[in-house]
Chain A
Amino acid sequence: MSNYRSEDQKLSANIEEYLETIYKLSHNGDMVKTTNISKCLNIAPGSVTQMLKKLDNKGYVDYSQYKGVKLTENGLKAAKSVTRKHRLLERFLHDILKLKNSLLHDQACEMEHTLSDEAERALCQVLNHPDKCPDDCPIPACDLPFTSCEECKARKEEEVSVVGKRDENLIPIMDLKNHQKGKVSFIRGDYKVIRRLLDMGITIGAIISVIKVAPLSGPVEVSIRGSKLAIGRDIACNVFVELTGDEEGLA
């Protein structure tokens, strides 16, 4: 979703600016006059016409001389996205950074083109998914595949790929010697894998000891909470423990 626009499709700031303006000026999908755009962007009508033809070629707008210009489906999508970023940023600058109203627009204009989609999603969540910008203009809805903002937030949590705290002294259980003990302190990996490990008793703070490592870079057998588990090497490399110092007796 972050790469729904691949490199070659990435729009220049200039194009985004045009699309955003056309979006702002067109209500209910009306044609927008070249002169209005020229006024709004403070650019000579000749240059505007030239740019609009370019956009037409790229398939973002339908441009016809004398009548004006209209966003295509593709153009609308891009325009909404950049407008959304602009207005979210305005909200952010206003609500959180407490910038003066007069500064908002220009600052947001600068930032909107470099804001990644992930950052946009995070921003939306931090701001508690607002629906209007400080000037009371509606913020277009995102096109993420979620049915609700709650789901968006929940999914983000599900994408969590670490539990515990990373520390330099920690070592992965893969590197423990046979019968060496450690305290589980940090796990990273796929959400489902972490969930499964937690269910099987490998929780943060649990004492784990290695029974043996299978040869040929095979899995590791560990003892945890009185049970024995075989854990694949890839997973075992991502479960980190703090050494407790003592070794488990052979019995």
Chain B
Amino acid sequence: MRELKDHANNFIKQSADLQEVQKQSSEIKQQSYRQGHRHKKRFKWGIKRRQPAYKGEEVAWRKRKGITIALAGNANVGKSVIFNELTGSNQIIGNWPGKTVELAEGKLCFEGQDINVIDLPGIYSFYTYSMEELVSREYIAYEEPDVVINVIDAAVLERNLFFTIQLLEMKVPLVICVNQMDIAKQKGIIIDTKKLEIALGVPVVATVAIRGEGLHELVEKAVDVARNKSKNKLNPMEYGAEIENRIQALTQFLESEKLNLKYPLRWVAIKLLENDPEIRKLIESKSRESVSRAYQLAEEIENIHKEPSFSVIASERYSIANRVSQGAQIQRKIKTSFAEKLDRLVTHRVLGYFVSALVIAGLLLWTFVVGDFLSGILSDIFSFFQPVDPQVSGSLVSILWNGAFGGLVAGVTLIVPFVIPFYFMLSLIENSGILTRVAFMMDSAMHKIGLHGKALIPMILGYGCNVPAIESTRILENRRERLLAAFAITFAPCSARTIVIMGLVALYVSVWWAIALYAIDILVMLIVGRIALKVVPGETSGLIMEMHSFKVPSVSVALKQTWKRTKSLIYLVFPVYIIASALIQALYALGFLTPIANLLAPITVFWLGLPVFAGVVLIFGAVRKEYTLLMLVALFGTNLAAVLSPVQFIILALVSMLFIPCLSTITILFRDFGWKATGTIALANIATAMIVGGLFYRIINPLF
């Protein structure tokens, strides 16, 4: 009986064990996925940006441990969303093409497998006329990622497949990710991924990356392909006979030449027939006969079609893309979607401009209102603890301590409350896709300053921070345009300038004067842009820009991005704020600042009508614009109305806004355009600030 009991107990225990094991195993499974998450967390800050490699740089990028997955595809198909979902990093995403200009790198642990994920810039073709295309092509050819995930937009299958075909020709281990299935469905497009898989000969996974749907399967397939290194089994897509024969003839010729190439021969043959300059140079250095042979064959194609060969091949490639996409998708008629209605409103010939203006004005007004509100609450809290007063006498330690506390309060009450609402709204705007519409509507206006509509996107981003804005000028076609745009951006009222305007003018004078300063700033931007155009003449290149569908911006994504941007600002600014504030107060108390201020007095006092100390304030403002405010607080505490008149507030804000790009902007200008251009821009800014500031002082002084 007892035995039986024991037995039963045992049985129960065993079954419990079994359950435990089952539970464990399922936990392990869960955990392995979660571990990925945890791993993600660990690498949250591990995201690195690096300069792209150029011109056949040999495998300089170190070989990494684990599997490397590269995300490639057209612009704005959701590569960065997938990247963020996989690696847990916060690549800034935006619904406009050309946002990722450099490679981003992150890590993920998937079922015990270490994976490096590379986010490549979005491109439409491997033709090497733009930097992004060259970067992507060289990365894929030289770095040899274990697998490339080609992210394609389900709603624009045919155009995306044009690029997929080129990837197939490059014979990279490939997994196709058909993303944004939900948007396609809204447009009445149903895609049969199985048929696509058969047609292309590579695994195809349907995803809705923004909701994380299908990503697990995607990584599974990618890891599978990477492990098995299964090269594309099917022959690459065949072109029309008259072209296909010549591709094969040239491939054979290249084979007989025994060139040691990183690229597959068939791909090289096609590129040669297309007359791709980079590839031609590469081959010419190794075998001139191959190039001559290619010309001969290209000429034959041209004689048959009476068309340049590159045009013939592009048409052919598109007809393959068309065939594949037609075979795999069904287009149903649907009612006009909300997004399309919105689209019509935003690009309406009258209302469109209204909407554009509303977006920008709304962004600013929202920042004013919410910022002011938050700022009020925060300063109340702080003054509850300790009133902030400048202390210019007493022991050095107490001066330093007081200064440091003042810096902290300035940071918390004057910066944080304004940047948070600003960044949040900017993220929403960026993600909605409205920027491309604004660019479309404003194209002709932008031509007035020698740029096309796309240049408006970096300029609007300049409202956030000049540095990423100048980086994103790379979406423009040539150096001249990038330079013009960057120059205009250095006048854009970035969040730091907003802080100055808010902190000085909106708080101490009135909100309307703050708005007036914005208007003046934009006016100055246009006038100076116009002058710059005269100095750097040249032809304005035309606009070619994809118009993506509107998306309902996700609040959680916007919050994440706001946090990311705010955090990097706080990390960067707060230590400097606190230390600098303490030092400045000490220096002031010790009497070091007066000589500098006196030296600048002719400009600050006589021309601009500012108090003597403004000279020092402006010099510090050149490091970061917010320091203008910080300096004032460090010197005089938060009750600035005692030391500055309303006119002086306005003029000081105006001059510090215009007079020189901040140090980090100068750094990025230097990196992208060199010293000469940077110096010229800085000098132009100083001159503009002096002229505008002096004149404006004389105009508004009688008003007060």
Q: Kindly provide the distance from the CB of B258 to the nearest chain A CB, expressed in whole angstroms.
A: 20
Q: Quick one: CB contact mask for A207-251 with B, threshold 8 Å, 1 for yes?
A: 000001011111101001111111111110000000000000011
Chain A, Cβ-Cβ closest to B302: A157
How far is A89 from B333 in the complex, measured between Cα atoms in Å? 65
Q: Kindly provide the distance from the CB of B169 to the nearest chain A CB, expressed in whole angstroms.
A: 15
Interface residues of A in 133-157 (CB under 8 A from B): 148, 150-151, 153-154, 157
| B14 at interface by CB-CB < 8 Å | no
Contacts of B386 in A (CB 8 A): none
Contacts of B336 in A (CB 8 A): 250-251
Q: Kindly provide the distance from the CB of A127 to the nearest chain B CB, expressed in whole angstroms.
A: 15
Contact yes or no, B318 A232, CB < 8 A? no
Chain A, Cβ-Cβ closest to B547: A228
B127, B277, B544: the one within 8 Å of A235 (CB): B544
| A197 at interface by CB-CB < 8 Å | yes
Contact yes or no, A163 B280, CB < 8 A? no
Contact yes or no, B546 A228, CB < 8 A? yes
Q: A219-B440, A219-B453, A230-B547 are in contact. Are A199 and B125 (CB under 8 A)?
A: yes
State which of B5-13, B34-42, B155-163, B657-665 sits at the interface with chain A: B155-163
Q: Quick one: CB contact mask for A15-26 with B, threshold 8 Å, 1 for yes?
A: 000000000000
Contacts of A221 in B (CB 8 A): 347, 440, 547
A157, A206, A218, A227: the one within 8 Å of B441 (CB): A218
| A160 at interface by CB-CB < 8 Å | yes
State which of A45-53, A70-78, A112-120, A188-196 sits at the interface with chain B: A188-196
| A170 at interface by CB-CB < 8 Å | no
Chain A, Cβ-Cβ closest to B350: A215
Q: Kindly provide the distance from the CB of B596 to the nearest chain A CB, expressed in whole angstroms.
A: 49
Contact yes or no, A230 B443, CB < 8 A? yes
Contact yes or no, B544 A201, CB < 8 A? no
Contact yes or no, A205 B315, CB < 8 A? yes
Q: Kindly provide the distance from the CB of A133 to the nearest chain B CB, expressed in whole angstroms.
A: 23
Q: Kindly provide the distance from the CB of A131 to the nearest chain B CB, expressed in whole angstroms.
A: 15
Contact yes or no, A193 B308, CB < 8 A? no
How far is A249 from B540 in the complex, measured between Cα atoms in Å? 35
Contacts of A160 in B (CB 8 A): 308
Q: Kindly provide the distance from the CB of A182 to the nearest chain B CB, expressed in whole angstroms.
A: 16
| A198 at interface by CB-CB < 8 Å | yes
Contact yes or no, A227 B156, CB < 8 A? yes
| B306 at interface by CB-CB < 8 Å | yes
Q: A214-B347, A251-B334 are in contact. Are A154 and B127 (CB under 8 A)?
A: no
Chain A, Cβ-Cβ closest to B548: A228
Interface of A is mostly: mixed
Contacts of A193 in B (CB 8 A): 541-542, 544
A158, A201, A230: the one within 8 Å of B436 (CB): A230
How far is A192 from B284 in the complex, measured between Cα atoms in Å? 22
Contacts of A218 in B (CB 8 A): 440-444, 453
Contacts of A197 in B (CB 8 A): 544
Contact yes or no, B542 A230, CB < 8 A? no
B155, B275, B284: the one within 8 Å of A157 (CB): B275
Q: A203-B311, A214-B441 are in contact. Are A150 and B547 (CB under 8 A)?
A: no
Q: A193-B541, A195-B129, A230-B436 are in contact. Are A201 and B162 (CB under 8 A)?
A: yes
How far is A197 from B288 in the complex, measured between Cα atoms in Å? 30
Chain B, Cβ-Cβ closest to A193: B542
Q: A201-B159, A232-B544 are in contact. Are A153 and B453 (CB under 8 A)?
A: no
| B401 at interface by CB-CB < 8 Å | no
Q: Kindly provide the distance from the CB of B69 to the nearest chain A CB, expressed in whole angstroms.
A: 25
Contacts of A225 in B (CB 8 A): 156, 158-159, 318, 321-322
| A13 at interface by CB-CB < 8 Å | no
Chain A, Cβ-Cβ closest to B74: A227
Chain B, Cβ-Cβ closest to A236: B542
How far is A151 from B285 in the complex, measured between Cα atoms in Å? 12
Q: Quick one: CB contact mask for B115-149 with A, threshold 8 Å, 1 for yes?
A: 00000000011010100000000000000000000
Contact yes or no, A200 B124, CB < 8 A? yes
| B366 at interface by CB-CB < 8 Å | no
Contact yes or no, B308 A226, CB < 8 A? no
Contact yes or no, A163 B307, CB < 8 A? yes
Q: Kindly provide the distance from the CB of A200 to the nearest chain B CB, expressed in whole angstroms.
A: 6
Q: Kindly provide the distance from the CB of A124 to the nearest chain B CB, expressed in whole angstroms.
A: 15
Contact yes or no, A164 B277, CB < 8 A? no
| B439 at interface by CB-CB < 8 Å | yes
Contact yes or no, A232 B543, CB < 8 A? yes
| B360 at interface by CB-CB < 8 Å | no
Q: Quick one: CB contact mask for A160-184 with B, threshold 8 Å, 1 for yes?
A: 1001110000000000000000000
| A204 at interface by CB-CB < 8 Å | yes
Can you pick out 20 interface pairs between chain A and chain B where the beta carbons lie within 8 Å of each other? Answer: A154-B280, A164-B307, A194-B311, A195-B310, A196-B544, A199-B162, A201-B318, A203-B314, A204-B311, A212-B347, A214-B444, A218-B443, A219-B444, A221-B440, A227-B159, A227-B546, A228-B547, A229-B544, A230-B546, A251-B334
Residues of B within 8 A of A (CB): 124-125, 127, 129, 155-159, 162, 275, 277, 280, 284, 288, 291-292, 295, 306-308, 310-311, 314-315, 318, 321-322, 325, 333-336, 347, 349-350, 352, 436, 439-445, 452-453, 477, 540-548
- Top 10 A-B residue pairs of the complex, sorted by shortest distance between their CB atoms: A232-B543, A232-B542, A235-B542, A199-B125, A198-B314, A215-B349, A228-B547, A203-B315, A163-B311, A227-B156
